[in-house]
Amino acid sequence: MKNNILLIGKDFLENEAFVAYCKGKEIPFVCTTKAQAKSEGKETAFQGTKSIVPWNRASNLSSMNLIIRAETLLDSIDRVLLYFDYDHFTEEYSQLEKNHFQIIADELIASYQYITENILERFKEKKQGGFIFLLKEAVPLFRSSKNSVEVNNPALYAAQEAFVAFAEMTAYRYSQKLENSVVL
């Protein structure tokens, strides 16, 4: 299997180290960015990189478009790295009112499910492919008294736990299919 990678989770500007690593090792990749970042010209660090694709997380149609564009750029998608970073999302979603649960549900729960289910259809057609689920979690005070953080956004914490449950279910559903690999 090749190593053409689609990175989902953190957008381009937050992934500069990963992008630089892939470019340095000549690993073909595609990562996402918000549509407004592209229009504001914030991609100057890797100007000319065609591997950065805008993605509206809350849209299944945008997820399908992302996959098509990634396949066009890479010829095929061999691995998908799905990354959930609680601390990063805390910063990104800190401006939301506490009662805007729907935005978090759409962008941080449904988005991972849209992209995963759509990619899995492609992997079934190719009879190969791999998923890597990465989690940088918040450890709430009620789980550990040592080095823990206070969870101040219940919706974001619920999204983290949904990511974990979805990763486990995806691994379970596809563990019998040797051509697809899922790493948690």
pTM, 2 dp = 0.80
Q: From residue 119, give the alpha-carbon distance in Å to each of 63, 71, 76, 93, 183.
A: 9, 10, 11, 26, 15
The CATH superfamily label for domain 5-183 reads: NAD(P)-binding Rossmann-like Domain (3.40.50.720)
pLDDT at 138: 81
**91, 145 Cβ separation under 8 angstroms:** no
Per run of 10 residues, the mean pLDDT along the chain (length 184 residues) is 80 73 85 63 46 88 93 91 88 74 88 93 87 84 55 82 94 70 66
**Strand, helix or coil at 134?**
strand
CB atoms within 10 A of CB 155: 19
**54, 83 Cβ separation under 8 angstroms:** no
pLDDT at 69: 92
pLDDT at 114: 94
pLDDT at 112: 93
pLDDT at 45: 44
Q: From residue 44, give the alpha-carbon distance in Å to each of 8, 84, 145.
A: 20, 25, 42
